[in-house]
């Protein structure tokens, strides 16, 4: 089962091209910091603006750099079932350990349509599949009953829950059981999510503070809940700051302050505003995260 601090990797850009050196450094930093798994090509990685070639090269590069030191959960979702199958097939052939498949955005399928979408991917590709339920971006929400039916299929192994509804953790546990992997998609709620029975977090914050995020989960698993809560409190301002504007604008700015990549994003996103930068700077300082000048990676 997947667990712990799982980083939703940003895709570093320079002059509108993928900055491969920075990507490799980011992956190595994550592994060295104790991160439990990596997600390339999720929405934090700006997957909607990646070409298929870029998307596939990122998955391949992540797998090649990682060399099985930690699991790679490739983002392969689409609002086209055919395209999602295509990307999931590639992830399997590239050596990814699982696929993260977002609910189909814009189309607004019914619950029966959601079931049919995921079943088609399940039937087409023999790889563990994690459902990504994020109604705030996709408009639709998969209910627990639909998820319970999908969990009966061979390859549907878990959910990234970005509903911000902590009551769903217990409902899902009751409906499906403890072997169904529940991962939070909301950094600010992670401590309560774990208390309710969750297994980990696919995190944006862990791009910036991987060691702190990983240690929080290790403390929780060691039943040192007081230490885990203290780390959660320390990280809470950073959790909030990294979503003060559309992600990944703030997190890329934070990484630029650490000298790890530029703050470049692809349109229609734009770099973090002055207000967002000030908010992120203050949160990083409060969390005790040392920064460098952005010019060092320009």
**Cβ–Cβ under 8 Å, residues 131 and 160:** yes
Residues with Cβ < 8 Å from 85, sequence gap 6 or more?
120, 121, 124, 125
Rounded-to-integer distance, Cα 270 and Cα 246, Å: 9
Of the residues 132, 191, 219, 253, only one is catalytic, namely 132
The burial of 290, by beta-carbon neighbours within 10 Å (0-12 exposed, 13-18 middle, 19 or more buried), is given as exposed
- Would you call 132 a catalytic residue per the annotation? yes
Active-site residue among 160, 191, 219, 253? 160
Contact, 30 vs 206, CB < 8 A?
A: yes
286 is catalytic: no
Q: How far is CA 259 from CA 22, 78, 214, 228, in A?
A: 10, 32, 21, 28
What 3-state class would DSSP assign to 165? coil
Alpha helices in the chain (DSSP H): 20-32, 52-66, 81-94, 111-124, 135-138, 144-150, 167-176, 190-195, 210-221, 225-241, 249-257, 274-287
Q: Quote the CA–CA distance of 107 and 39 in Å, as a whole number.
A: 25
Q: Tell me the longest C-alpha to C-alpha distance in the chain.
A: 51
Residue 72 gets which letter from DSSP?
A: B
Q: Which residues are catalytic?
A: 132, 160
């Amino acid at each position: 089962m997947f667990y712990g601090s799982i980083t939703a990797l940003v895709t570093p850009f320079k002059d509108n091209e993928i900055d491969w050196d920075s990507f490799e450094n980011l992956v190595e930093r994550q592994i060295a910091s104790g991160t439990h798994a990596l997600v390339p090509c999720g929405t934090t990685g700006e997957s909607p603006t990646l070409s298929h070639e870029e998307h596939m090269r990122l998955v391949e590069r992540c797998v090649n750099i990682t060399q099985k030191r930690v699991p790679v959960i490739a983002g392969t979702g689409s609002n086209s079932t055919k395209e999602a199958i295509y990307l999931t097939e590639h992830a399997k052939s590239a050596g990814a350990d699982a696929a993260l498949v977002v609910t189909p955005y814009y189309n607004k399928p019914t619950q029966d349509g959601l079931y049919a979408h995921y079943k088609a991917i399940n039937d087409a590709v023999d790889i563990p599949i994690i459902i990504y339920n994020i109604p705030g971006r996709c408009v639709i929400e998969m209910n627990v009953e639909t998820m319970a039916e999908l969990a009966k299929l061979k390859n549907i192994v878990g959910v990234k829950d970005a509903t911000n509804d902590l009551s769903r953790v217990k409902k899902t546990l009751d409906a499906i059981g403890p072997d169904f992997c529940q991962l939070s998609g909301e950094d600010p709620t992670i401590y309560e999510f774990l208390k309710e029975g969750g297994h980990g977090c696919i995190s944006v914050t862990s791009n910036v503070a991987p060691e702190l995020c990983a240690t929080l989960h290790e403390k929780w698993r060691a039943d040192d809940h007081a230490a885990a809560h203290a780390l959660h409190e320390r990280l809470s301002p950073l959790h909030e700051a990294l979503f003060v504007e559309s992600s990944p604008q703030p997190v890329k700015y934070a990484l630029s302050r650490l000298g790890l990549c530029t703050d470049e994003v692809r349109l229609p996103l734009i770099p973090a505003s002055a207000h967002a930068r000030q908010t992120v700077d203050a949160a990083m300082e409060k969390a005790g995260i040392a920064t460098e000048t952005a010019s060092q990676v320009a």
